Amino acid sequence: MTDQKDWWRGAVIYQIYPRSFKDANGDGIGDLKGVRENLEYIAQLGVDAIWISPFFKSPMKDGGYDVADYRAVDPVFGDLDDFDGLLAKARDLGLKVVIDQVLSHTSDEHPWFQESRKDRTNQKADWYVWADPKPDGSPPNNWQSVFGGPAWEFDQRRQQYYLHNFVTGQPDLNYHNPDVQNAILDEVEFWLKRGVDGFRLDVINFILHNQDLTDNPPNPGVNPADRRPFTMQLHIHNQSQPGVINFIRRLRALTNRYDSKMLVGEVADDDGVRLSALYTSGNDLLHTSYNFSMLGGDRPSASLVRSSLETFAAQPGGGWPTWAFSNHDVRRVASRWHPDKDGFHHDPRLSQMLIALLLSLRGTISLYQGEELGLPEAIIPFEYIQDPQGKAIYPLPGRDGARSPMPWYDETNGGFTQSSPWLPVDLKHHDLAVSRQKSASDSTLAFTRQMLAFRKKHRFLRTGSIAFHGSGDDNLLMFSRGERENEQTMLCVFNMANGARRIALPTRSAEATPPFSSERFGTLVREEDRIYADLPAYGVIFVPG
């Protein structure tokens, strides 16, 4: 068994977007009581922990990632008593609780920023990133916001620009100021004292900037399909600065004063895999981190998965990764990696293969709410869009399609609320509701529960080694998982194509080990001195070594 102190190593963490999980008070918005009332469902999946996206006091200009008070629950989600009740029930069910911490920026309604913007001499004048205009009145440099347009907003009171890497209502904190670092550590410790088990650190590589405000160079490799101002630059000076590690080290020292806590960092960078490995190297930085290497792409491929894991493993320092296929910031993988890019169709075969793959990877796993149902991306009409990025890029898909309410029942509004939901429930999600899937033995929900039990049963699937086998076919992924201690190994094979096939295996074993009954699992065939696998479309096979 994994040591309790290292519970996070190889764990499966279920991400909850509370606004869309379950509405308990009937106002159309999910809340902490709704989370608490449905924790049994999550525990019965077989995951180890939950990660709750921001529920702090916020004007909600960016879905709660614009925090106005780090220590207060926004009334739309409840109050601190509701959180304490959730925490106590999770503990009773054996679930760890990880909460978001948005440390790189605050809301422009945060009292710190309200004081900072008053003038250039107040006590918090240097708590945010302020700079004078150029002589012609233009912004201090060419840095671009992730959400479009310059990353600078002019403030009439100070007659200066402030930096915002995201929406204008999210001014960036100045981590070059030690008072800011100390204040942030105090905010984090508030939640440690309250008993949380860990923190997911939003865009942790964005906390520092180059103080010289040097222009970013152009990106010579910009993707023609994603020519936004932000992607047209190499982000050398506005993020991922060397000093980030120094603050991470302070954050780790703080959490080490409390038993069995963990830090998982979100790394959004042009070279996210390597930076994730750097931020988790040694024993005094992040416990684990995730990046966007497998949260993009337009299809599942052996090269994508293999390059992500092998690149991470090749970095020095023995870092520990977290892997995810879906979250609240990207299109749901059931649609993003579906061959019909425009139809938003659901294919349970694809969804189940992806669940089997994700839960077979070496690392900690992040499973996004609804992924266990195989939910495809919801189509949100323009008049209902809430996401500021989604409004700006429409008709391209924004983030609301991944944030639509959880379908609990095949009924009006998916049983999410008795009121009008903050985002509409896509009608195609009704057929995939929890109530429909929980009693169907061949459902994606049943498959997910059984795969989670399979992963938990075999320690080598959580923390053992991984070695990839080449096939020359990008629709075929093969790797071995194992442990030296007990000499257990297992060959894991995934057919990423929508068509049955027979493939030769690098094994002499003639016995497959289906973890449970499912049409996803292939069969073995011996022909002369070779072992072959007959795999259905999106098929999987596990062969002990």
Residues acting as catalytic residues: 202, 266
Q: Which is nearest to 393 in space by CA: 404, 380, 406?
A: 380
The answer for residues whose C-beta is within 8 angstroms of residue 175's C-beta and 6 or more apart is: 181, 207, 208, 243, 247
Q: Rounded to whole angstroms, what are the CA distances from 429 to 195, 343, 412, 421, 447? A: 35, 14, 11, 14, 18
How far is the C-alpha of 424 from the C-alpha of 417, rounded, in Å?
A: 11
Amino acid at 481: R
364-368 sheet: strands from edge to edge? 288-290, 262-266, 198-201, 96-101, 49-52, 12-16, 364-368, 322-324
How far is the C-alpha of 55 from the C-alpha of 68, rounded, in Å?
A: 11
Cis omega before residue 150 (within 30°)?
no
Strands (E), 332-475: 364-368, 465-469
Radius of gyration of the chain (CA): 23
How far is the C-alpha of 318 from the C-alpha of 278, rounded, in Å?
A: 9
Q: End-to-end distance of the chain based on CA atoms, in angstroms?
A: 22
Q: Which is nearest to 101 in space by CA: 64, 154, 139, 143?
A: 64
Quote the tokens at residue 517. Answer: 């009954």
Q: 131 by DSSP, 3-state: which?
A: strand
Q: Rounded to whole angstroms, what are the CA distances from 49 to 7, 20, 196, 324, 458? A: 9, 18, 11, 15, 18
Q: Which is nearest to 401 in space by CA: 344, 482, 338?
A: 344
How far is the C-alpha of 352 from the C-alpha of 347, rounded, in Å?
A: 9
Could you please report the per-residue DSSP string of 425-459? PPGGGGGG-HHHHTT-TTSHHHHHHHHHHHHHH-H
